[in-house]
Amino acid sequence: MKTIDELLAEGVAGKRVFVRADLNVPLAGTTITDDGRIRAVLPTVKALAEAGARVVVASHLGRPKGAPDPAFSLAPAAARLGELLGAEVAFATDTVGESAQAVVAGLGDGQVAVVENLRFNAGETSKDDAERAAFADRLAALADVYVGDGFGAVHRKHASVFDLPAKLPHYAGYLIATEVGVLKKLTDEVQRPYVVALGGAKVSDKLAVIDELLGKADRLLIGGGMAYTFLKAKGYEIGNSLLQEDQIPAVQEYLERAEKNGVELVLPVDTLVAADFPDLKTKAPANPTAVAADAIPAGQQGLDIGPETRKLYASKLADAATVFWNGPMGVFEHPDYAEGTKAVAQALLDSPAFTVVGGGDSAAAVRILGFDETAFGHISTGGGASLEYLEGKTLPGLAALED
Ligand SMILES: Nc1ncnc2c1ncn2[C@@H]1O[C@H](COP(=O)(O)OP(=O)(O)O)[C@@H](O)[C@H]1O
Ligand SMILES: O=C(OP(=O)(O)O)[C@H](O)COP(=O)(O)O
């Protein structure tokens, strides 16, 4: 993989450099609640700008449906990037259209622009190779060189991640180089016991990863939205909790295999429930109740692990030598459902283990809940990406940078 240092050595002054970043930051309206992913790409953007490149930054944000949707605009992220750089950042109101072309044409050496959300274009995420390639051609027309630095999205076979690098000279940015360096150590020489804690809301993506992890980790702790599919697979009622019904047979097989292979697969023993999803804007008290994992009442949904599970998971992390954690244990954005996530973060800090926390929301949770991020071994900007890397999969966005 050629790195940005090689590009800088070759010289980039006056060249249009397309930086595929992951600026998929958590937003409350148009307010960024955690700017970690923007800070993470600063070294790359700064180095290119200082070397006189004309920097075109592109990213997805959220999961819009292939058409413009103001709720997912990158405008707040572009403004924040400008503040962090201490420089004007131009913003194009489309991704490859007239606005983007004009903004890129207007860039001077050392200047930076952000184009609008890549996923406002159906070609970005299309499963059709030709449709993706056609969109990648339009992206390629904006630049002379490609720098991949959106680590959080390298597991996606998307036009800007996979197809575009093949069309331009391509290099890995500093963030990708750092992330891969740390995760490689975890796969090559993991110290045991190796404990993986999984939670979050992207249940279908992450359940699939457990298949491989059962052959790698010594212990798996399950929390967040994915826990309820496990509880359902054990035959418990889960009310209105998140459920990935089509994966119940797979999860039942995981439970059996874990037992056979001597992998400890630990599920919540209790959970916080309420009738409604909490209001994350007003943060009005949600008044949840704690119930046993096999006693979730009909009409209620599980929104965090309960107090007994917090203690149990802390004890299961205490003797770990290596911990990988992806996915909040509950809806941490609301104070009534933040205790499970806090308990796991605290247990990681209390343990002597080498700890990696991965995922946009997991990393944000650690910072928003007031933990010192430097106290963790590594905070990865990618959740799904780091999980799939640890699984040993070939990630499209890394493979594309490799030839
Ligand atoms: N029990 C639950 N029900 C619904 N959502 C949940 C639950 N537990 C956690 N979440 C949500 O999961 C989201 C983060 O999930 P995800 O995107 O998978 O994590 P990451 O970005 O760290 O990979 C958070 O916004 C949190 O509110
Ligand atoms: O937030 C992200 O991943 P993560 O939640 O696994 O950390 C990335 O920006 C990828 O987004 P996607 O899962 O919508 O493709």
> pLDDT tens, 130-147?
999 999 999 999 999 999
Atom of ligand 1 nearest to the CA of 205: 18
**Whole-number Å distance between alpha carbons of 258 and 153:** 29
Quote the ligand 1 centre to 338 CA distance (angstroms). Answer: 11
Strands (E), 48-198: 54-58, 89-92, 112-115, 145-148, 170-172, 194-198
Closest CA to 140 of 176, 94, 95, 107: 95
- The owner of tokens 């890995």 is 172
Question: Residue 305 carries which DSSP code?
Answer: E
Which token pair is 12?
């980039």
Check residue 166 and give its pLDDT: 98
- What residues have CB less than 8 Å from 146, skipping those under 6 apart? 17, 18, 20, 164, 165, 167, 168, 169, 170, 171
Nearest ligand atom owner, CA of 389: 2
Q: Is 360 in the pocket of ligand 2 (CB under 6 A)?
A: yes
Check residue 85 and give its pLDDT: 98
Residues classed as catalytic: 37, 202, 360, 384
Check residue 185 and give its pLDDT: 85
Nearest ligand atom owner, CA of 223: 1
Quote the ligand 2 centre to 120 CA distance (angstroms). Answer: 16
Among 229, 331, 367, 381, say which to mutate for ligand 1: greatest number of ligand atoms within 8 Å of CB.
331
Please give the backbone phi and psi of residue 385, each rounded to the nearest 5 degrees, phi first.
-65, -45
- pLDDT tens digits, one per residue of 231-284: 999 999 999 999 999 999 999 999 999 999 999 999 999 999 999 999 999 999
The sign of the CA dihedral 54, 87, 358, 58 is: negative
Please give the backbone phi and psi of residue 75, each rounded to the nearest 5 degrees, phi first.
-55, -45
Please give the backbone phi and psi of residue 194, each rounded to the nearest 5 degrees, phi first.
-110, 115
**Whole-number Å distance between alpha carbons of 178 and 271:** 37
Spans of the chain, pLDDT less than 70 = none
Check residue 188 and give its pLDDT: 85
Residue bearing the CA closest to ligand 2, atom 11? 153
206 assigned ligand-binding residue: yes
- The owner of tokens 């937003």 is 27
Closest CA to 8 of 224, 217, 177, 226: 177
Check residue 389 and give its pLDDT: 94
Nearest ligand atom owner, CA of 324: 1
**Whole-number Å distance between alpha carbons of 371 and 349:** 9
Q: Is 153 in the pocket of ligand 2 (CB under 6 A)?
A: yes
Nearest ligand atom owner, CA of 200: 1
Beta bridge partners of 291: 271
Rounded to 10 degrees, the C-alpha dihedral 369/381/270/28 comes to: 60
- Laid out side by side, the sheet with 270-274 consists of 289-292, 270-274, 301-305
Among 202, 324, 380, say which to mutate for ligand 2: greatest number of ligand atoms within 8 Å of CB.
202
Please give the backbone phi and psi of residue 40, each rounded to the nearest 5 degrees, phi first.
-65, -25
- The owner of tokens 């575009």 is 164
Full-model pTM: 0.95
**Whole-number Å distance between alpha carbons of 207 and 181:** 25
Q: Is 225 in the pocket of ligand 2 (CB under 6 A)?
A: no
333 assigned ligand-binding residue: yes
Q: Is 322 in the pocket of ligand 2 (CB under 6 A)?
A: no
60 assigned ligand-binding residue: yes
SS3 152: helix
* C-alpha radius of gyration, the chain, whole number: 22
Check residue 248 and give its pLDDT: 96
Whether omega before 285 lies within 30 degrees of 0, making that bond cis, reads no
Q: Is 382 in the pocket of ligand 1 (CB under 6 A)?
A: no
Q: Is 76 in the pocket of ligand 2 (CB under 6 A)?
A: no
Among 361, 380, 387, say which to mutate for ligand 1: greatest number of ligand atoms within 8 Å of CB.
361
Closest CA to 340 of 302, 296, 384, 375: 302
Residue bearing the CA closest to ligand 2, atom 8? 152
**Whole-number Å distance between alpha carbons of 206 and 209:** 5
**Whole-number Å distance between alpha carbons of 389 and 383:** 10
Quote the ligand 2 centre to 25 CA distance (angstroms). Answer: 10
36 assigned ligand-binding residue: no
Q: Is 381 in the pocket of ligand 2 (CB under 6 A)?
A: no
- The owner of tokens 């704690």 is 290
SS3 128: coil
